Amino acid sequence: MLKLAHKFNTTVAQLQNDNNIQGTLVKIGQEIVISPNKKLYRVVSAMPQGSKASNVNLLSHKIKRGESLSVIAKNYRTTVGSIVAQNNLKSTVVLAGQTIKVPAAKGFKITNKTSVKRTVKWKRPTRGYLSSAYGYRTHPVYKKRSFHAGIDIAAPKGTPILAATNGKVIYAGRRSGYGNLIIVSHANGYSTRYAHCSSIIARKGQQVKAGQIIGRVGATGVATGNHLHFEVRKNGKTLNPVSFIN
């Protein structure tokens, strides 16, 4: 159901509401109602999980360009649902310059060490829809629970793959399950990986600019269909790419 929600720019909650479905599983051949671009959000709590009202501070936050509610919630150690409920938002889409109230744990303070700062924002590496998120999942081929170190963006074969930001190509070739893989090194210890390419355009040692075509979407390596597997790493540690491109 999550894939359908992404594909039609709606939410799982909206699909459940339109079809009177309690769970998130649908069967092949099942007919459902879809309301494209219509979004319903279910909010469970207006406070950070595990917090009582007396232990919550409301902090004012002016949204910076490129920030999302998920990033803000993480920085303040709260939840997206808490922010949505506190501000009576109709969706999770927010605009730069907008001021919101953030329910943070009592005693939480913004210091120089707190990561409430402008978020790095890069180019989306290809067109398409998110078919698999970052984190633990059941592997689509091996059918075992494992950690997915990036995100998958489903797109037709041959769709251009773009460098997310400026950098230097440090690998361009075949690598086991990744299939045809491109690795680009960026400033401040960051690197990005672009896997399952049908073809590689960039070459090792080449300097690339943000938005430059470096390859094309495919299904090489261990893959069930045409898509881009995209990873973001800092000093070798994987990070959620959605925080950088959405």
Alpha carbon of 24 to those of 4, 11, 75: distances in Å?
11, 11, 29
DSSP string, 107-170: T----TTS--SPPP----SSSSEEEE-SEEEE-TTT-SEEEE-SEEEE--TT-EEE-SSSEEEE
pLDDT band (50, 70, 90) for residue 8: low
- For residue 43, what pLDDT is reported? 40
pLDDT at 106: 62
Give tens-digit pLDDT for 120-176: 579 999 999 988 888 888 888 888 888 999 999 999 999 999 999 999 999 999 998
Instruction: Indicate the domain borders of the chain.
Output: 129-245
Q: What is the mean pLDDT of the chain?
A: 81
Rounded CA separation 220/126 (Å): 17
Torsion sign, CA atoms 63, 69, 73, 75: negative
Q: pLDDT tens, 66-94? A: 678 878 887 887 888 788 888 888 777 77
The yes-or-no verdict on residue 12 having pLDDT over 70 is no
pLDDT at residue 138 in the model: 86
pLDDT tens figures, 32-79: 777 665 555 444 444 444 444 455 678 888 888 667 887 888 788 788
The whole-model pTM stands at: 0.55
Q: Give me 157's structure tokens.
A: 């074969």
Query: How does residue 22 score in pLDDT terms, banded at 50, 70 and 90?
Result: low
Please determine, for residue 214, whether its predicted confidence score (pLDDT) is greater than 90. Answer: yes
Instruction: Determine what percent of the chain is predicted with pLDDT higher than 90.
Output: 40
> What pLDDT is stored for residue 58 in this prediction?
81
pLDDT-derived band at 115 (thresholds 50, 70, 90) equals very low
- What pLDDT, on a 0 to 100 scale, did the predictor assign at position 208? 97
Residue recorded with tokens 């969706």: 91
Give the tens place of pLDDT for each residue, 128-142.
998 888 888 888 888
Q: What is the rounded distance in angstroms from the CA atom of residue 76 to the CA atom of residue 67?
A: 13
Which CATH fold topology does 129-245 show? Glucose Permease (Domain IIA) (2.70.70)
Place of tokens 């790493």: 233
Which pLDDT belongs to residue 13? Answer: 65
